[in-house]
């Protein structure tokens, strides 16, 4: 009955909601590939310590349902990991994130995103980041090419190229999620700081560990580590809202739930399907 009442209300107010409410449902369609906020220091801190990757491997595929307060489905997001070789024979990971709106949301604010990140196979730092995003009538393409040895990144956005200095081991918005998964120091009261380049700036991203929780979703029960980040998003997240992420409390640190409270409920990304990656030799 609750869903029927909400659906009736939406149909009656669809003009207003299309401009104010429905676009908010799409925010988490690209949550995983957006960088949380930090400070933009003039100095170049070194936060991205070298880790050993036991968290993910080629073939991993994670599928998420995006919803508003677990009532209205907004769309799906998929994260995939592939292993490739560059022209010089060096192995890399290609991480691909796709997000698509669905149902009622697509009628008013269609979202189609493809984000790619190529990272070093061993050190996990960023080599290339490419975004092709379509949100309603707004379309945006952007590419970042990282030169880790020189500490620079060339950003190509809408045909304009700019070069920026970066700290060692810099990450992009998508690869930062996978790097965090390889960290083992999730300790309450001791934040993990990650260096990320986004929007032509270097950001010191803070990930705070809240604690351990056992949660249940439609996909099953999980022992998790609950963390909190401070995102920088347009629109609804401009007010310094917090995003909570529940990672499995094991070596893989799979995000099983992501949630952000807003004034009219919450936006959630829930893991609904998972394909494990290949076993490492």
193 part of a folded domain: yes
Query: Does the structure show a pLDDT above 60 at 196?
Result: yes
Residues 192, 180 contacting (CB under 8 angstroms): yes
Residues 248, 224 contacting (CB under 8 angstroms): yes
Residues 6+ apart with CB under 8 A from 265: 68, 69, 71
167 part of a folded domain: yes
The stretches of 119-271 forming alpha helices (DSSP H) are 175-181
281 part of a folded domain: no
- Measure the CA–CA gap between 126 and 147, rounded to whole angstroms: 9
DSSP symbol at 190: B
24 part of a folded domain: yes
Domain count, the chain: 1
Domain enclosing residue 105, as ranges? 2-275
The phi and psi torsions of 126 (rounded to 5 degrees) equal -75, 140
Q: CA nearest 116: which of 98, 134, 139?
A: 98
Give the pTM: 0.81
Q: Please, which residues bridge with residue 145 across strands?
A: 128, 154
Instruction: Please state the rounded mean pLDDT for residues 32-53.
Output: 60
Q: What is the pLDDT of residues 216-250, one digit of tens each?
A: 988 899 999 999 986 443 332 233 457 889 999 99
33 part of a folded domain: yes
pLDDT for the residue 236 = 29
Would you place residue 29 in the very low, low, confident or very high pLDDT band (cuts 50, 70, 90)?
A: low
DSSP symbol at 261: E
280 part of a folded domain: no
257 part of a folded domain: yes
218 part of a folded domain: yes
């Amino acid at each position: 009955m609750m869903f029927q009442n909400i659906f009736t209300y939406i149909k009656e107010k669809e003009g207003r909601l299309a401009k104010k409410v429905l676009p908010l449902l799409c925010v988490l369609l690209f949550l995983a590939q957006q960088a949380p906020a930090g400070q933009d220091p003039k100095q170049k801190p070194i936060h991205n310590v070298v880790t050993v990757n036991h968290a993910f491997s080629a073939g991993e595929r994670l599928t998420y349902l995006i919803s508003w307060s677990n009532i209205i489905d907004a769309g799906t997001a998929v994260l995939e990991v592939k292993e490739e070789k560059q022209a010089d024979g060096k192995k890399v990971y290609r991480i691909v994130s796709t997000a698509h709106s669905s149902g009622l949301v697509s009628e008013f604010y269609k979202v189609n995103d493809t984000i790619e990140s190529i990272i070093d196979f061993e050190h996990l730092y960023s080599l290339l980041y490419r975004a092709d995003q379509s949100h309603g009538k707004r379309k945006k393409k952007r590419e970042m090419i990282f030169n880790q040895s020189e500490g620079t990144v060339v950003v190509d956005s809408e045909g304009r190229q700019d070069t920026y200095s970066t700290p060692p081991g810099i990450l992009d918005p998508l690869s930062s999620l996978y790097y965090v998964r390889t960290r083992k120091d999730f300790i309450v009261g001791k934040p993990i700081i990650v260096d990320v380049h986004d929007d032509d700036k270097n950001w010191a991203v803070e990930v705070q560990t809240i604690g351990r929780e056992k949660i249940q979703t439609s996909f099953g029960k999980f022992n998790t580590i609950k963390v909190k980040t401070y995102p920088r998003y347009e629109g609804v997240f401009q007010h310094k809202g917090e995003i909570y992420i529940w990672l499995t409390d094991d070596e893989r640190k799979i995000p099983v739930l992501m949630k952000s409270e807003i004034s009219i409920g919450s936006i959630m990304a829930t893991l609904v399907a998972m394909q494990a990656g290949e076993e490492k030799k």
